[in-house]
Amino acid sequence: MPVSLYKPKVHFYFEQKGFSLENRNQLKRFIEGIFAKEKKRLSHINYIFCSDKRLLEINRQFLNHDFYTDIIAFDLSEGRETEAEIYISIDRVRENSESLRYSFKSELHRVIFHGALHLCGYKDKKRSDIDKMRERESFYLSKYGINGI
């Protein structure tokens, strides 16, 4: 049996019991493909899935923000290759999916891709930037086979 030489550049960590991702290896490769398509070099990304409480602590400690959010991305790059940690609140994603009437799966993948796109240089402060970010999120969701956001 041949040994695979593929070493993933994307890693997933789960702080909440009972939560996991489907098709992890496929998703890892797809995220790596986002970086290739956006012409950004990727060293590695750690995605950490956690609770609202944990993400609020991180938001307060590192960003001096006292509010809930669905995602925080820390770009740890020192050279030309992207290195990062992305924290995603499963609680917030679930609540947002319900209030927006999207499936949890589509909202979760939107947020996962959103983090990658931030690291590729996309912003979301101005209306024009938000529109461009949403367009790219939708593009990658469609390419990944998730529709209905």
Residue 11 token pair: 């890693």
What is the three-class DSSP state of 111? Answer: helix
State phi, psi for 41 to the nearest 5 degrees.
Answer: -80, 135
Return the number of other C-beta atoms located less than 10 Å from residue 112's C-beta: 27
What is the three-class DSSP state of 122? Answer: coil
What does the alpha-carbon distance between residue 28 and residue 110 come to, in Å, rounded to a whole number?
A: 14
Residuewise pLDDT in 10s, the chain (149 residues): 566 677 889 999 999 788 889 999 999 999 999 999 999 999 999 999 999 999 999 999 999 999 999 999 999 999 899 999 999 999 999 999 999 999 999 999 999 999 999 999 999 999 999 999 999 999 999 999 997 55
For the structural domain made of 10-144, what CATH number should be given? 3.40.390.30
Q: End-to-end CA distance of the chain, in Å?
A: 41
CA atoms within 13 A on the CB side of 101: 0
- What does pTM read for this prediction? 0.92
